[in-house]
Structure formats: structure tokens, C-alpha cells
Structure 1
């Protein structure tokens, strides 16, 4: 096997996997390199809560032995991956970013963890998160805020804050996050990586700590589009333990990736998603639209009715179900909370039953409307957020001359797809002028992840990210 250099840290999964399968690179040496980097860099970022040195090295030794015997499990075999500390890992501390669970050791693995083990991936650590995943800034955890690798004074976005920062700063080759209102896509955009919220039911959420059962998703966060599809290949599939899991025939999300976008119809909403954008974001999205035109895609402007009502319905369901999840925690552990997180959760107590029922009816109508739209377009493109990363703990910001609370806007453009359950991928755009990262969002029809990967990959290949 060849001696490793520091460049291996920057390789994507696709390239590293080939080198490991060819026995040119040892997964043990790769794992040591990543662990060494974590111990140097994590003090600045605070991406990891728990680093699994012994566990990871033991798994790497096992992977190497299997590979040397020709027992190749797949493209994740021997690849170090991080897990949001919201996903249960047997006999490994899982904190939810909270003092309440600071010493909690689950007795079982989440289904996605089992699937990663079966794929031969190496669990290298548990990643920081906004407390109980109830926040889109990523700077309110019992274990301290996560810092953006591109500017340590800025937020990563949340709640999968550590997952975004770790992938962006080469502290793992991929991570898993959870997404209830944008918690994969927002930190992916703010950290300049790729994040997929799959279709509701595509990936089992069993063993992920619940926030809002009807909105929760688990998905991959990676440095490239192809890597993202590789990880989704490993974690997707039916799980009888998850009542929301959908039993579908397995498919390869990388199979059609090279098919290009010629003739693909991309819908651009004429309102809501493009309202009140911070300076620079609209211009970057226009560049993305122009590039897709040059690649042969058809751009079609579309009207999505009732988006304000859909957005409000999402917030109603979120507040109601989150409070139901944490009512007893608030009662029994009143003084062990971050004050802001606790206060926001308590807002759900005032949601009336008829408001919740009305929100569910709006959800049904929204799904019907989006299904009709996808009879005319292959994907919908929007910004991920309307702003760039803000300062840590900054809550009131100014957008186009108006002051707004950050929690009222960060998940405004991502939350509707949690309500409808449609797949949505965050893709970093190549920002100019040294700006902080951000990204665009591609929304697809139910179980249309392969199309989203194909469309995203065409952009990524063209700009060379």
C-alpha cells in the first residue's frame, strides 16, 4: 500500500473508495489521518462532541482485513463517517446536544447506523447539534456553538451544525444529519457542501431521536453530489421498525447521474421563494439558472399558490409536535435547558387542536398541488435560505432595510418540503467576491432523488466544485 499524504484528506469518497478497493491505500492509515486532523482542528470548530478513536481504529482494522481477503462490501467500505449526535449508537454516548442526555448510552443502533455498518463504513464520531435539534442556527448546544469553517465568527446553520462543519473541514468524508425544517440543507448551504433531505419514508428514522414525527428525516451530507448519492444508496430502504417507512424496490441513485440535463424542465417559482433575498443571493441564483440554460435545460417560471399558508402550516405542525415530544422533559428537567430552546418549545403549548387539524388539511392540499406541478416540470429550483451566515448568537438581522428575527427566516424556504415530504437537495453555488458559502435548493417529486442528483451533478461538473 502507498504512503498517505495530506491530500488524501481532501479526496472524495468515490476516489478514496477506489484506492481502498485496489489495496493502494489502507483504511487504517486513512482513519488515523482523519482522527489526527480532528484532534487538531476540532478545538476551533467544536464540530464533534464525542470522537471514537478506539472504536474507529478497530473498525478500520476489521475493514482492512476484509478487503485484503477480497470481501468488498461496497464503496463505503473503510470510509470514515460522522454521525449527528441525534442518531442512536449502541453503547456510544448520544447526547442530543443537551445536558439532560449528556451521559446517555443507547442500548441499540439506529437503523441507518446498522446499514452503514453493513456497508463497511467506519463511525469516527458523534457530531454536535443545536439542542434537541430545535434551532436553525446551530449555536445553542450544551456542548457549545459550532463555528463555520469559512469564518469562525459565523454560524454554520442548524440543527445539523457539526455535521456540516465536519464535512466541510475534512473531519470526515461524509456525515448523517437530521432534517425537520431544513436542518440538513441549511448547514450544507452555509458550509458549502451538499445535503439531501430524502423523500419522507425513503430512509428509516427509527433510532433517530424524534422531534416532530411527521416532519423528521435523516439524510447524507457530503462534499460532492456523487458522494451524497453513494451514501444514500447505503442508508435508503424499507424498515418495518419505522411506521412511516415506504416499501419500494431498491434503486441506484448514481446510475443516471451522467445523463445530463438536456430537455430537463426546471421550474422557478415567481413568488415566495425569491422574496426578501439578501444582496448577492438573487444574483448567484440567476447565474445558476443561466448555466442550466447553457447545458440544455428548459427554464419554466411557475406559480405555486398559497405558499404563505403552507409555510404557516409547517410552523404549526412543527411547534405542536415538538412540544408534544418534549412536554415531560420541560416539566421534569426545567432547569437543564438552554433558555432560548425551552422558550421556543413552550410556544407549542398554545397551538389549538383546530389549528393543527387545519394545518394537516393544508398539507394535503399542498401535496396535491406540488404533484400537479411535477406533471409539468422535472424539478423546482429555489434558494436554500434568503440570507448568508450571520454572527454567532445574532438573532435580529436586517434584510432589505427591515429587521427580522433569524428564526423567522432561516427555515422559511426549506420547511415547506418537510411538510410535503418531497425530496430536496442543497447544492453549493460558486459564490464570487469572497462571500461566505450558500446554495440553491432543488425540489423533486416524491421518490425523485435520482433526478435531483442528475440535475445537481450536471451543475457541479460544469463549475468544477
Structure 2
């Protein structure tokens, strides 16, 4: 069995027993990345030299027997700051940007002696649902390279599913961890807003963004979240809470657990084959001792409209800092200061980013603020209230992660509305700041289907409990794509 096919618990055991070295593990990971990169396009930067230096230093120091993540390679989405390693946000605007600091999430990985192996591809500035708006190249779905990997964290998800790395980091503003996890048949977690510091994450929409982990299994995902989570004084929205053991409830049974299945999540627009897999998952939860009942989240149908007003408005503000003056791309054909701003931003940003900046500026403009941004904030409150009412009587909410399985590359590039609607089921979770997870729940048309589980604020352990029980009772997580030795 190749190293990339073993869980991090198994790898940790090999490292502690010195049956393999950290350097050997890093080298094999680099080899796996190289072998599949031409087909998948998941990495913008492979930090081979830095990673091997870290690995050799850790071998000299010794792997920590009590730290399961010690010496484990991890890939980081390329909108998360890494000191001395290119951090481009998949944009021409930052094509040459090497930060002078690490994001808190990356610093936390280093504290656990993890090896940052490279930076993964994404939709430009995390704006997209297919990983096709990247300035550099599109990423491909690990199961079928004619399909999208999802977005915006498509490179991180496909890299895990395709056996390039065991663990990776993504960010989720409206579904950008959970949708790619669903499309690639792996476990992706968007934690509660504030659970992980956003310091060093290149901001898209500050009230929605959240960093989170990808992994092939529930337990591995929980281990990585434990490394990432924690209070950070550099992020004013970081929650001042102790970090629990996110694996503590994995293995506990589900007897008495109440799970809500919103009728809005199973209605019009949901592929019947996807719906069938989710209904089968509901039956499986009932076999495991849980009660699954239908509920209503009536305002969820407004989520997409609310999200694209709020997120675009915040993006228009956040992206003002990219002006061609301080760092990154600067247009060359300039004659005055106005040219620096206008031509740099016109040439440096891609179409989707410019579309959202214009939408955001319109929503915030005089005469339209009350009609759009203010009203979107009010409807956001109604969406949050819907969730609050459901969680008064239920432990979790379940449903599909995405309305369909992965779609064809290029099929929605010219139809932004269709692209936006792919996030119909994930967006409300971000608007409410809740934790949400996608895990493998079967297949439709030969492609993975994702099951979304949603919990109340800071109840990630309950998510891992339910997901762990479902994973143990099924075998979907054991299936691998052909590029990783499977038979799909």
C-alpha cells in the first residue's frame, strides 16, 4: 500500500516507529503530486525545497509521539498567507506576491509540526463555484477530468480525492469547502464562524469567510480542525473559546439524536438521483438510532439573492486594497495616478471578480443601499431565525450538499446565474454563521453525492459524531477515483 492510501493515524504510527522518515513521506507526497498534476491542475505552487527542509529538520528533532499530525504533509489553499511562498489568490493581481507573514491557520499547522507541501488552485479571489475563474488554469474533478471539481476550493478538494495529499485547507464563503468536497467524494468542514482565525486569509466577504479542513475520512478531518481552531487576538471576530477534542464523540451511537430534513432542501431543482441518495442516508440514520423528521426553513429560498448582495458588497470594499501601488500586478501603459488604479484593476482582475465588484458597488450606492444591502441584512436575520427555531427541537439538519453532482467543465461559465444557484443549499449556513459538513453519501451517474450536515453554533463535535457513525455504517469513503487506483 502506498503511503498516500494510509490514514494519518497509520502514517503517524510508521513515523513514530521510524519505519519511514518525515523526509521519505514528504518525497513520496511530492511524487504523488507530480504524477497527477498534469491531469488535475490542482497546484499553483509546489513548495518542494521548503517542505524538504522542514521535513529534514523534523527528522533531526524527532516526531512527537503524542501528536498525530507531526510530520504530516498538508496543502494550503492559495488565498491563505504563507511566508515566503507565493500566495496569489489565483489572480493576475497577485501573480508575484510572496507574503512576509503566515496566516494564523498556517502558524497553527507549523506548531503541530506539519509540512506545507504546496498551494492549491482556486477560483480567483475565491469567487466562483467551479474553479474555472483561476487566472492560471482550471482544476479538474478527481473522478472525471471532464467535470469541474467545484469551487472555490476545488484544487484543495481534488488534491485530496486524487491522492496527491492526505489533508488540505480550504475556505468557505458560500459553500466553497462543502461543494468541492461533495463533488470529489471527501469530507469537508466549514466550522462555526469565529472557530478558526481569519487573520492571513485574503478577504472576500468578511462576515462570511471561514477557513476549514478537507480529508478523506471524518476522524482525519476532526484532527486537522483541532490544529486549526483557537482564539486569535489578531482577528476581532475570532471566538474566545477553548478548543475541544473534535474526535471525542466519534464512535458514540446516535440513539435519541433528532435530525431535521428541510422540505426546501429536497424540492424543485434537486436532481432526483441526488435526492434518492439523501433519502437513503436518512434511512441509514434511522437504522443507527436517530429520528429524522421533515421541517421547514421558509426563508432559505432567498439565500442566494441575499448572499450575492452581501458578499459582493463586502468584496467591493475588501478588494479596494488591490490598487497597483503597494504589491502585486501594476499596469505598464500608465500616464498618471488615475491610470495606475483604473488600468491595473481593469487588467489585473478577471471577469467574475469585476462582476462582483460592480454588483457590490451598485448595492452600496446612494439611492440603492436601503433597497438592496439593508434589505439583504434584514432577510439574513430571518434566515438565522429559521435555523434557531429548528435547533430548539433538533440536534442536526441534513440535506444534499449540492443540487447536482459535478457538472461539465465550461458548461456554466457563460451563465453566472446557473453557477450561483449551485450554492443554493450551502449559502444559508454561511449567512447564519453555522458549522456545516459534507461527507460522501453515494453516487449518481458515476459521480459522488455529498450529504450536508448542519449543527448549531460551536457544535462541531456533534457533526463529527453523526458523520462518523454514518461513515462507519457505509463504504462510500473507501471508494477511490481511477486516477488514485480506483475503478470508476
TM-score under structure 1 length normalisation? 0.93
SS for the counterpart of 1:258 is coil
Report the secondary structure of 2:272's partner residue: coil
Aligned pairs for 1:231-380 within 5 A: 231-327=224-320, 329=322, 331=342, 332-351=344-363, 352-354=368-370, 355-380=372-397
Instruction: Select which of 437, 447, 450 maps to 2:458.
Output: 447
Shift of 1:39: 1.3
Alignment deviations for residues 222-258 of structure 1 (CA, whole Å, 9 cap, x no partner): 1111000000010100000001001012210001111
Q: Report the CA distance shift for 1:10/1:419 in structure 2 as closer, same or farther (over 3 A).
A: same
For residue 429 of structure 1, what is the aligned residue in structure 2?
Answer: 441
Aligned 8 A contact 2:304 2:420 in 1 = no
Matched, 1:14 2:24: no
Once the two structures are superposed, the pairs formed by residues 124-143 of structure 1 within 5 Å of their partners are 124-143=117-136
Q: CA deviation at 1:372?
A: 2.4
Cα deviation digits, residues 50-92 of structure 1 (max 9, x gap): 1011111111112222326xx4461110101000000000111
Residue from 409, 412, 417 that aligns with 1:392: 409
1:26 maps to 21
- In 2: Cα distance, 1:338 partner to 1:325 partner: 16
Residues paired across the two proteins, number: 452
- Checking the alignment, whether the CA contact within 8 Å between 1:66 and 1:72 is kept in structure 2 is no
Question: Which residue of the partner structure matches residue 147 of structure 2?
Answer: 154
Q: 1:198, 1:449 within 8 Å by CA — same for their partners in 2?
A: yes
Unaligned runs of 5+ in 2: 323-340, 478-488
Superposition pairs for residues 33-52 of structure 1, below 5 Å? Answer: 33-52=28-47
Show CA shifts across 1:10-43 (max 9, x none): 1122221222223332221111111011112111
Secondary structure at 1:262 match in 2: coil
> Separation in 1 of the partners of 2:314 and 2:153?
19
Counterpart CA distance in 2 for 1:119 and 1:110 is 15
Equivalent residues of 2:128, 2:352 under 8 A apart: no
- Of 226-235 and 355-364, more deviation after overlay is shown by 355-364
Superposed CA RMSD = 1.8
Give secondary structure in 2 for the equivalent of 1:306: helix
SS where residue 264 of structure 2 aligns?
Answer: coil
Normalised TM-score (structure 2)? 0.89
Matches within 5 A, 1:400-419: 405-419=417-431
**How far apart are residue 315 of structure 1 and its match?**
2.3
Match of 2:334 in 1: none
Shift of 1:7: 2.2
- Tell me the SS of whatever aligns to 1:209: coil
Q: Report the equivalent of 2:329.
A: none
Secondary structure of the 1:162 match is helix
Separation (CA, whole Å) in 2 of partners of 1:264 and 1:353: 43
Once the two structures are TM-superposed, the CA of residue 263 in structure 1 deviates from its matched residue by 1.2
Q: Which runs of 5+ in 1 are unaligned?
A: 1-5, 398-402
**Could you tell me which residue of structure 2 aligns to residue 381 of structure 1?**
398
Q: Which one of 194, 197, 202 corresponds to residue 204 of structure 1?
A: 197
Aligned-partner SS, 1:124: strand
Deviation at 1:272, TM superposition (A): 4.5
Cα shift readout 1:117-170 (whole Å, capped 9, x = no counterpart):
000110000001111111011112111100111111110000011101111111
Aligned partners of 2:407, 2:298: CA distance in 1, in Å?
Answer: 30
Q: Does 1:119 align with 2:131?
A: no
Q: Determine if the alignment matches structure 1 residue 91 to structure 2 residue 84.
A: yes
